[in-house]
Amino acid sequence: MTKIDVDLLVISEMRDYVQEQLDVRFRAHKLYEAPDADAMIAELGPSIRAVAAGSHRNVDTDLMDKLPNLEIVSNFGVGYDNVDAKSAGERGIIVTNTPDVLSDEVADTAIGLMINTVRELPQAEQFLRAGKWTSANYPLTPNTLREKRLGIAGLGRIGKSIAERAESFGLSIAYYGRSDQKIAYTYYDSLKALAENVDIIISVLPGGTATNKVYNEDVFKALGPDGTFINIGRGSTVDEDALIEALKNGTIRSAGLDVFDHEPHVPEALMALPNAVLLPHVGSGSVYTRNAMGQLLVDNLTNWFENGKPITPVAETPFSAK
């Protein structure tokens, strides 16, 4: 690999596979290892031209102010609410993410979480492990995927991958998003309207102020007592107190969650609920997919400095990949 004469600030710990490439390609400075992060930024700030970011530290205006020669922020993950992309775009700073390479893995997780939640498979496993099967059968599950209507909130790359898989289960599909995509699935222009017309919601909504706690008491009431809520998007989109009450009171039947509002902290009240299936944000969590995401992070940086083009710029970035 050719060494690129660029100072890179790595603000979140990366997989070894990724960090090794960054070390070879750039002068990589690991902020997360610094005994005094502010001192490192003060010392290196003017020389930093690139940032490799993850979800554990925000790239906000305060940090950008301290990096006056910053050209690009390459973010690990399809979601990039940890980066103030709007402010970056206004400053002419490129922001990239890692779409597509994780869509199938996350879609697989969403379908698996839906099946586990609807059919109570984790609860049935615990029943067996507790030795209860020797004296009784596990109760018939009150819910099924047969003849059910699935609503997908956020029909982007991941949402479409979920829809493709869901079709093979015979589920009818509707969706909510910013606009009607004029496709075969039924479109609803509000979450409440979607909830009123489906049995299961799978949320793929991104984080941010526009989606903060949009899943509230009204939406759960609309979903109804036979409804199932699945979230593999962002935890910030859910009013967790309202969800807990909905699960406790039978406002909805069940929930399957891979994301939470204050990760890695999950409310005790949520963990105590027997009708909630909870995962520790493992949607894209395979070695294969995380390596592919990391490779795209590296390739975005490399392509920018070698060819002047990012591979996957986000919408707020003043640059087209075409």
Q: Active-site residue numbers?
A: 234, 263, 281
Determine contact, residues 311/290, Cβ cutoff 8 Å. Answer: no
CA dist 58 and 307 (Å) reads: 27
Residues whose CB is less than 8 angstroms from the CB of residue 213 and which lie 6 or more positions away in sequence, other chains included? 236, 237, 238, 239
Q: Which long-range contacts (CB under 8 A, 24 or more apart) does 170-177 make?
A: 170/145, 170/146, 171/145, 171/200, 172/148, 173/149, 174/149, 174/150, 174/198, 175/151, 176/151, 176/152, 177/153
Strands 27-30 and 254-257: unpaired
Token pair for residue 88? Answer: 């970056």
> Which amino acid, 18?
V
CA dist 235 and 205 (Å) reads: 9
Name the nearest CA neighbour of 266 among 302, 240, 238, 286.
Answer: 240
Determine contact, residues 69/47, Cβ cutoff 8 Å. Answer: yes
| Secondary structure element (H or E) that encloses residue 321, with its range | none
Name the nearest CA neighbour of 123 among 107, 110, 139, 136.
Answer: 139
Phi, psi of 7 (to 5 degrees): -85, 125
Determine contact, residues 235/208, Cβ cutoff 8 Å. Answer: no
